[in-house]
Amino acid sequence: MHLLEVKNLHVAVDGKQILNGLDLSIGKGSVHAIMGPNGSGKSTLAHVLAGKADYVVTQGEVLLDGEDILALPPDERAAKGLFLAFQYPLEIPGVATFEFLRTALNAQRKKRGEPELVVPALMKRVNEAAGKLGIGKEMLRRGVNVGFSGGEKKRNEILQMALLEPRLCVLDETDSGLDIDALKVVSDGVNALRSPDRAFVVITHYQRLLDYIVPDVVHVLSKGRIVKTGGKELALELETTGYAQYRDEAA
């Protein structure tokens, strides 16, 4: 059984159809890249997988381990091992990053029937994972993402991913707004989490990110459907030819 199966997914936002029969199967341990031009539905796919309210599924299924998750609220999807790394991580003044991590981790553990972690054990975990990503203790005391640079925000996303240990990670344009150094730190963080039990959906507009996070499979998304699937060389091909031909194909 595939870890994730998306079947004939149709999604509308504000009455406008964005996804038009998208199919996608992702096995454990694999990294799939989804590339496509602006407006092709990449972010919509990311948000609908995570369960954002204003995205209306008009048709189709999303199965995680064979179970349809479309009826589940976002927190339950997260507890089942789904993680969305946001393109634009939000700032939450007044909620300290450590408190946020503690609440999230224990909420998931509780939902799964696992014992909650006490602060000393948690502190150790958080500090270790944060250290690897170059996130200092001072940042952990600050409000979530408050005063963080673009790169710091993305690193904070990867920190959350590392701590929550999801099975399916969806990275929504994680490369946007990153300089090459930050891109490398974030990619190293992601690569360190690759494992036979964990799969990644890497959504990106540019091939550059895929030099660092090397995918097993590359899909081209256009007008709300996957129009081509190939190996990692497909990304390089797109880099030279652009998306124009796929726009025409889908039309």
Partner 1 sequence: MNAEIRPIKTAAETALAANFAAARCALPGAGAVAALREHAFRRFEVDGLPHRRVEEWKYTDLRALMRDAKPLAGVPDAATKARAGSAGAALAAAIEARRIMFVDGAFAPELSDLGGLESGLTIRSMAEALAKGDAQVAARIGKAVPTEDVAVALNTAFMGDGAVIRVAAGAALARPIHLVFVNAGGEGASVFTRSLVTVEKGARAMLVESHEGAGEYQVNAALELEVGDGAHVDHIKITGAGAGALHISSLMAAIGAHARFNEFLFTTGAAVVRNQLFVRFAGEGTVAHIGGANLLRGRQHVDTTLIADHAVADCTSREVFKSVLDDEARGVFQGKIIVRPHAQKTDAKMATHALLLSEEAEADNKPELEIFADDVQCGHGATSGDLDEDLLFYLKARGIPAKQAEALLIQAFVGEAVEGIEHAGLRDALMDQVVAWLRQRA
Which residues contact partner 1 (rule: CB under 8 A)? 50-53, 73-75, 77-79, 83-84, 86, 89-90, 92-95, 100, 103-105, 107-108, 111, 143, 160, 164
Between CA 122 and CA 119 the distance in angstroms is 5
In the complex, minimum distance from the CB of residue 109 to partner 1, in angstroms, rounded to a whole number: 9
Residue 1, classified by CB atoms within 10 Å of its CB into exposed (0-12), middle (13-18) or buried (19+), is exposed
Say if residues 218 and 33 touch (Cβ distance below 8 Å). yes
Pick 93 or 147: Cβ nearer partner 1: 93
Dihedral angle at the C-alpha atoms of 225, 228, 234, 237, nearest 10 degrees? -90
Strand runs labelled E in 116-242? 143-144, 168-172, 199-204, 217-222, 225-230
Pick 152 or 238: Cβ nearer partner 1: 152
* Distance in Å, CB of 179 to partner 1, minimum: 24
**CA 194 to chain CA centroid, nearest Å:** 13
Of 100 and 212, nearer to partner 1 (C-beta) is 100
Q: Within 10 Å of residue 119's Cβ, how many Cβ atoms?
A: 10
State whether residue 183 is helix, strand or coil. helix
Least separation, in Å, of the C-beta of 167 and partner 1?
A: 13
Query: Shortest gap between Cβ of 214 and partner 1 (angstroms)?
Result: 26
DSSP state of 159: H
Taking the complex as a whole, the smallest distance from the CB of residue 8 to partner 1 amounts, in Å, to 24
Shortest reach from residue 229's CB to partner 1, in Å: 27
> For residues 164 and 220, which CB has a smaller minimum distance to partner 1 in the complex?
164
- Measured from the CB atom, is 109 or 228 closer to partner 1? 109
Nearer to partner 1, 84 or 186 (CB): 84
Q: What angle do CA 51, 11, 173 make, to 5 degrees?
A: 60
Nearest 5°: the CA angle 142, 88, 85 is 90
The answer to whether 162 and 131 are in contact (CB under 8 A) is no
